[in-house]
Amino acid sequence: MTPNKEDYLKEIYKLGGAEKLVGNKQIAEVLKIAPASVTEMLIKLSHEGLLHYEPYKGSCLTKEGLQIAITLLRGHRLWEVFLMRHLGYSWSEAHEDAELLEHITPPRLSGRLDKFLNYPAYCPHGSAIPHSDGQIDRKPLRPLVQLAAGESSHIRKVAEEKELLDYLQSLGIEIDGAVTVASIGPYEGPLMLDLDGRQVQVSHKAACQIYVDER
């Protein structure tokens, strides 16, 4: 395993490769690599038994590949908790450095870090932290943008993307905070939110990446 191959597996997982076939083009896009190079690597990874590769169709992770992807996610999220809770990192900074740290986090390290952090269930961005056996506690969520005007809920998760994280943190948006959609601008216009009495405007695009409780 190299950090490189790990990134392939992780991104395929994030693209849904645990349940369905993922096309090469998508993988090439998120990894910023030429499609031809992706084909090559996928064949290699399938020979290693880490994914099922169906030419011209796509790839999905095997149990082994899934295990590696989840282990990476676990390391990533545990580090995020550490970086924000103890080192004073911001949302986006934590994500950035965790992206590096995840690749050099053997089970011994993630296990002890987990204990040190007192077994956190969620990362600072609201994603569930997989247990050491690979189990993930999923919570049913929907994007904020699906709420109707006047509806209330709680913010449970935000997508991990640098620009978005900086934007949302500057707005003072917080995980588990109460939110009410005051109004929705027409034509994918901005949403006006009520956060504990504070009025905040967020773009439609951002609202697609913010998740709240289902129902």
Partner DNA sequence: TTTGTAAATTAGGATCGCCTAAATGAAGGG
Partner DNA sequence: CCCTTCATTTAGGCGATCCTAATTTACAAA
Select from 208, 129, 113 the least CA-distant residue to 161: 208
From the list DNA, its own copies, none, pick the one residue 1 interacts with, judged by a Cβ distance below 5 to 8 Å according to partner type. Answer: none
Residue in 14, 18, 30, 41 binding DNA, rule: CB under 7 A: 41
Q: Which of 126, 124, 156, 143 is nearest to 191 (CA)?
A: 143
Looking at the Cβ atoms of 36 and 104, the one nearer to its own copies is 104
The one among 11, 12, 15, 24 contacting DNA by CB under 7 A: 24
Residue closer to DNA by CB (options 53, 122) is 53
- Rounded distance, CA 83 to CA 193, Å? 29
Question: Tokens representing 82?
Answer: 């550490």
* Comparison of 101 and 144: residue with beta carbon closer to its own copies: 101
Residue 34 lies near DNA (rule: CB under 7 A): yes
| Interaction partner, residue 100 (its own copies, DNA, none; CB < 5-8 Å by kind) | its own copies
Q: Within its chain, how far is the Cα of 85 from the centroid?
A: 19
Task: Give the binding range for DNA (CB under 7 A) out of 10-18, 54-62, 117-125, 137-145.
Answer: 54-62
The helix (run of H) or strand (run of E) holding residue 69 is helix 63-87
Size of the site for DNA (CB under 7 A): 25
DSSP code for 22: B
What is the β-pairing status of strands 152-158 and 210-213? antiparallel
